[in-house]
Amino acid sequence: MTAKKKGKQPGKPPRRGKKLRNQMKNQYQKVAKEGVVPLKRALQVLKSIKRAKFDETVEVHMSLGIDPTQSDQMIRGSVPLPFGVGKAVRVLVFCQGDNVQKAREAGADHAGSDELIKRIQGEGWLDFDVALATQDMMGQVSRLGKILGPRGLIPTPKAGTVITMGQDVGQIVREFKAGKVEYRTDKGGNVHAGVGKMSFDDERLTANIMAFVDQIRAVKPSGVRGNYVRSITLAGTMTPGVPVTL
């Protein structure tokens, strides 16, 4: 028999050191002691348990009382955050004609048609965070479904990433560049999004969080009965979740 190799093993995270285990234990104990708290207190707790050296993203997680197996209860869309997400958003726009110049002037990182589609198909190029498309381009863009779909990058009307004839290309680009976030319920009926950075002051985080929560409440499917929002939790990239009452 060959001896088992020590060290890194595929599919298994490295063993946590004693210092890290103690830090995480203290974090969970502090959150558990607080219980469900108002938003103002939740932000204080979240910032007090931050341990990472980088500027962590603040995320909102909402558990919804929907049936994810029913297509009319699936929730998907986008919402502009008053103070953005705290990071540069790389926006690509599939468009043609005058819209190419409009998109670039509004801040789009990439704008064009056939050349972008060929680059994605041929090179597997995905150097962008959000993909938008004008309605007249969707016939061609749909061919990228197998590449962009699994990554959540395929433009879709439900997410607000398809620009219709009556919409201003420049305005849509500016909204996403400023911090318009997409949301979509998962198989467990949960929805979540990054709504800012730990370095944001409480007022900016509160405004962003409330904009997201209010949007989710506003799109409640008509077929949902009973408690729609079951729970709301705030978390940092490397922190436990803090239950919130709103």
210 closest CA partner among 198, 221, 218? 218
The class level of CATH for 36-83+181-245 reads: alpha beta
pLDDT in tens, 83-95: 988 888 899 999 9
Q: What is the pLDDT of residue 1?
A: 46
- Taken in order 183, 192, 64, 187, is the CA torsion positive or negative? positive
Cα 153 from Cα 91, distance rounded (Å)? 11
| Contact call for residues 69 and 57 (beta carbons, < 8 A) | no
d(CA 232, CA 150): 26
Residue-wise pLDDT tens digits, 17-64: 676 677 667 777 777 788 899 999 999 999 998 888 899 999 999 999
**Both structure tokens of 110:** 């990439």
Where exactly are the structural domains of the chain? 36-83+181-245, 91-177
Q: How far apart are CA 185 and CA 152, in angstroms?
A: 12
Kindly give the parts of the chain with pLDDT less than 70.
1-9, 11-17, 19-20, 23-24
State both tokens at 67. Answer: 């049936």
Kindly compute the dihedral angle of the four CA atoms of residues 52, 82, 208, 164, in this order, to the nearest 10 degrees. -110
pTM of the model: 0.75
CA distance 104 to 138: 19
What CATH superfamily is the domain 91-177?
Ribosomal protein L1/L10, domain II (3.40.50.790)
pLDDT of the residue at 11: 67
